[in-house]
């Protein structure tokens, strides 16, 4: 019997390396597949989305905070472009409609891998968008914690670890800043519209952020727990908006002009905050319309500048 020595073919190491690489790639793809729980049920996402369309300020805030630039976004409420505070981060973006009316053809033209929508999207529009790309609408509506909303978007984008870092950064800043805020200070966030002022609910994003700082909400703001804001306040009822400090939010860029106009109203000048010169004009696109990491940092900037002890 003759024994023949076995000599491995020279290309076997190469084949083994290729096989290992293939297995590694397959494991990576499988790891990247995930199920995102949304307002309209589970949505399957595969891989890392590169072409992202955002429909709403909170979706755009989250995407930008996670270091990504979407291929399409909506013009802001009452504006002709995305909010300035987000444009500072992303630069100009292609518009695919407005907050009130997304443009399906414009969204389709961007060939998105994923669509991130704000809450409030109808099931009818969701079904149409889902034919274009996986569409993610966070659960919980406008009163959901911003951290949960960010986590939902981040999971869809494969950026969950980065989201936790952003949340921790805000929590750390709140903890540090709260030590410099006068105790028992009451605050109101008043949206100043041409039609009249509206009190923003303290249960929304901004109100919760202010309470975490140790600030006390105005009684009317605290009572509004099922909708974003009050009805328009008449001059006779404007005293219900009073607090130690009033943050006057306007959607147009000339908030100081709105404050000057408000000071011409006798009912406004009778407010304690007006008499003590403790009314501050703030960006309404952030204070009354947006939510998320970048919005939180801007709000904390305003509070620090206004209320924090040096």
Phi, psi (rounded to 5 degrees) for 47: 70, -165
272 C-beta neighbours (distance < 10 Å), count: 14
Q: Does the pLDDT at position 20 exceed 80?
A: no
Reported as a pLDDT band with limits 50, 70 and 90, residue 310 is low
pLDDT greater at residue 181 or residue 195:
181
Per-residue confidence (pLDDT) for residue 7, from 0 to 100: 41
Q: CA 133, CA 53: separation in Å to the nearest integer?
A: 10
Query: Same CATH topology for 35-170 and 179-307?
Result: yes
Strands 135-136 and 196-199: unpaired
Q: What are the strands, taking DSSP E only, across 168-254?
A: 186-193, 196-199, 216-217, 245-250
pLDDT greater at residue 1 or residue 182:
182
pLDDT 10s digits, 66-123: 999 999 999 988 788 999 999 999 999 999 999 889 999 999 999 999 999 999 899 9
Reported as a pLDDT band with limits 50, 70 and 90, residue 12 is very low
226 C-beta neighbours (distance < 10 Å), count: 8
Boundaries of every domain in the chain? 35-170, 179-307
Across-strand partners of 116?
54, 136
What is the CATH T-level fold of the domain 35-170, as seen in this structure? Answer: Rossmann fold (3.40.50)
Per-residue confidence (pLDDT) for residue 128, from 0 to 100: 97
Q: Does the pLDDT at position 18 exceed 70?
A: no
Query: In this structure, what token pair is assigned to residue 104?
Result: 């399906």
Q: Let me know: does 149 contact 138? Beta carbons within 8 Å.
A: yes
Q: Let me know: does 222 contact 204? Beta carbons within 8 Å.
A: no
Q: Let me know: does 216 contact 184? Beta carbons within 8 Å.
A: yes
pLDDT 10s digits, 240-290: 999 999 999 987 666 667 777 777 788 888 999 999 999 999 998 999 889
Question: Would residue 189 be called left, alpha or beta, if left means φ above 0 and alpha means ψ between -120 and 50 degrees?
Answer: beta
Reported as a pLDDT band with limits 50, 70 and 90, residue 16 is very low
Query: In this structure, what token pair is assigned to residue 300?
Result: 């904390």
Q: CA 226, CA 143: separation in Å to the nearest integer?
A: 9
pLDDT averaged over every residue in the chain: 88
Per-residue confidence (pLDDT) for residue 255, from 0 to 100: 61
Distance set, CA 129 to CA 106, 121, 133, 300 (Å): 11, 10, 7, 35
Q: CA 238, CA 249: separation in Å to the nearest integer?
A: 15
| 179-307: CATH number | 3.40.50.1980
Q: What percent of the chain has pLDDT over 90?
A: 70
**pTM of the entire predicted model:** 0.87
Reported as a pLDDT band with limits 50, 70 and 90, residue 217 is very high
Q: CA 233, CA 305: separation in Å to the nearest integer?
A: 28
DSSP label at residue 72? B
Query: In this structure, what token pair is assigned to residue 118?
Result: 């704000």
- Largest separation between any pair of C-alpha atoms in the chain: 115
Query: In this structure, what token pair is assigned to residue 249?
Result: 């939010």
In a 3-state reduction of DSSP, which class is residue 47? coil
Per-residue confidence (pLDDT) for residue 25, from 0 to 100: 45
| C-alpha dihedral (226, 229, 234, 238), degrees to nearest 10 | 100
Q: Does the pLDDT at position 199 exceed 50?
A: yes
pLDDT greater at residue 235 or residue 225:
225
């Amino acid at each position: 019997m003759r024994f023949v020595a076995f000599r491995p073919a020279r290309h076997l190491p190469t084949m083994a390396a290729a096989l290992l690489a293939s297995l590694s790639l397959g494991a990576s793809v499988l790891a990247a597949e995930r199920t995102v729980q949304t307002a309209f049920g589970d949505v399957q996402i595969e891989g890392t989305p590169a072409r992202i369309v955002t429909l709403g300020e909170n979706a755009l805030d989250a995407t930008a905070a996670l270091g990504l630039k979407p291929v399409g976004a909506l013009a802001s409420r009452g504006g002709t472009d995305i909010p300035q505070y987000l444009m500072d981060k992303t630069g100009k973006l292609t518009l695919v409609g407005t907050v009130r009316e997304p443009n399906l053809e414009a969204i389709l033209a961007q060939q998105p891998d994923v669509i991130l929508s704000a809450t409030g999207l109808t099931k009818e529009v969701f079904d149409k968008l889902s034919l274009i790309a996986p569409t993610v609408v966070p659960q919980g509506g406008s009163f959901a914690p911003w951290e949960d909303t960010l986590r939902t978007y981040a999971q869809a984008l494969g950026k969950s670890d980065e989201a936790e870092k952003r949340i921790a950064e805000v929590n750390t800043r709140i903890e540090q800043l709260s030590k410099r805020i006068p105790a028992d200070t009451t605050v109101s966030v008043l949206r100043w519209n041409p039609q009249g002022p509206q009190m923003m609910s303290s249960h929304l994003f901004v109100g919760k952020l202010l309470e975490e700082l140790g600030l006390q909400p105005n009684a009317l703001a605290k009572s509004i727990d099922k909708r974003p804001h009050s009805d328009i306040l008449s001059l006779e009822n404007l005293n219900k908006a009073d607090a130690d400090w009033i943050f006057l939010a306007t959607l147009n860029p000339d908030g100081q002009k709105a404050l000057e106009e408000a000071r011409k109203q006798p009912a406004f000048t009778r407010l304690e905050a007006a008499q003590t010169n403790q009314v501050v004009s703030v960006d309404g696109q952030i204070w009354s319309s947006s939510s998320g990491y970048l919005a939180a940092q801007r709000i904390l900037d305003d509070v620090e500048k206004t209320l924090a002890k040096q």
